[in-house]
């Protein structure tokens, strides 16, 4: 799996380090309260660090080698992720970002 974080998202060095550390964990499926990368239904991929800080997306890519590419392009808290998930669904695209 390849992860990309959109540059315009506002992350300080400490937040960036926390997100990178969380990315070293496996993907978790709906473990409430745990930090990590999670699929929320078939709507959103969410990465949570301590507190209520999250990066998320509904768009997944795969490259020619079949690797999953996740490009986190939204930032917000739990409530924003839930609202976003209610308005979107996962989209899969072939090819690189």
Q: Pick the residue with more confidence: 46 or 16? A: 46
Contact 39, 48 (CB under 8 A): no
In the chain, the number of structural domains is 1
pLDDT above 70 covers a percentage of the chain that reads 81
Note down the domain range covering 75: 2-94
Contact 45, 57 (CB under 8 A): yes
Kind plus residue range of the DSSP H or E element containing 87: helix 78-87
pLDDT confidence of 79, banded at 50, 70, 90?
very high
Distance set, CA 78 to CA 12, 43, 81 (Å): 19, 14, 5
């Amino acid at each position: 799996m390849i992860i990309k974080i959109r540059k315009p998202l506002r992350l300080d060095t400490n937040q960036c380090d926390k997100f990178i550390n969380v990315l070293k964990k496996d993907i978790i499926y709906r473990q409430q309260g745990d930090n990590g990368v999670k699929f929320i239904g078939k709507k959103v991929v969410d990465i949570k660090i301590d507190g209520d800080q999250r990066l998320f997306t509904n768009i997944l890519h795969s490259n020619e080698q079949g690797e999953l590419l996740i490009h986190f392009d939204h930032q917000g808290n739990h409530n924003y992720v839930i609202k976003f998930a209610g308005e979107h669904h996962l989209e899969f695209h072939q090819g690189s970002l």
